[in-house]
């Protein structure tokens, strides 16, 4: 969802999405994050390296498997994601003001149906 939500600073849309997933979900292994984001492990590895260099995530040993690493969003990442989310909400609210009330009702009902279908 963050992929189309406005100014991402120096982050690619994919990196911003991965960072939002980490901030929301908590620590994840690289392979698990790649699965959630639906990208290959090598692609996620490149994103993670960039995010780590930018100070947005840390890598720590997984206590359940010392060979694996857990990726954790830093406080700076949480601040960035919160800002991006606020900007997205403001953008949607501004767009909704341009839609007639009757059309908004139809849109909201349709979105509810879509969400239910996606959850199945």
Report angle CA 72, 74, 76 to the nearest 5 degrees.
150
Give the pLDDT confidence of 10-51 residue by residue, as tens digits.
788 899 999 999 999 989 999 999 999 999 999 999 999 999
Give the pLDDT confidence of 82-116 residue by residue, as tens digits.
888 777 788 888 888 889 989 988 998 898 899 98
Tokens 């994050």: give the residue.
Answer: 33
- Which residue segment(s) compose the domain that 28 sits in? 2-119
pLDDT at 6: 45
The residue with greater pLDDT, 81 or 1, is 81
Q: Is-contact 83 23, C-beta < 8 A?
A: no
CATH classification at residue 82 = 1.10.10.10
Total number of residues shown for the chain: 120
- Taking the C-alpha atoms of residue 96 and residue 29, their distance in angstroms, rounded to an integer, is 38
Confidence of residue 9 (pLDDT cuts 50, 70, 90): low
Total domains in the chain come to 1
This prediction's pTM: 0.68
């Amino acid at each position: 969802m963050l992929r189309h939500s406005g100014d991402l600073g120096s982050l690619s849309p994919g990196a911003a999405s991965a960072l939002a997933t980490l901030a929301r979900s908590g620590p994840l292994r690289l392979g698990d994050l790649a699965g959630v984001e639906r990208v290959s492990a090598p692609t996620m590895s490149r994103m993670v390296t960039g995010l780590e260099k930018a100070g947005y995530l840390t890598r720590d040993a997984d206590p359940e498997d010392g060979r694996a690493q857990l990726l954790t969003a830093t406080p700076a990442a949480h601040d960035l994601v919160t800002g991006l989310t606020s900007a997205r909400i403001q953008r949607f609210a501004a767009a909704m003001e341009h839609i007639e009330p009757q059309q908004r009702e139809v849109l909201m009902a349709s979105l509810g149906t879509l969400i239910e279908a996606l959850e199945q």
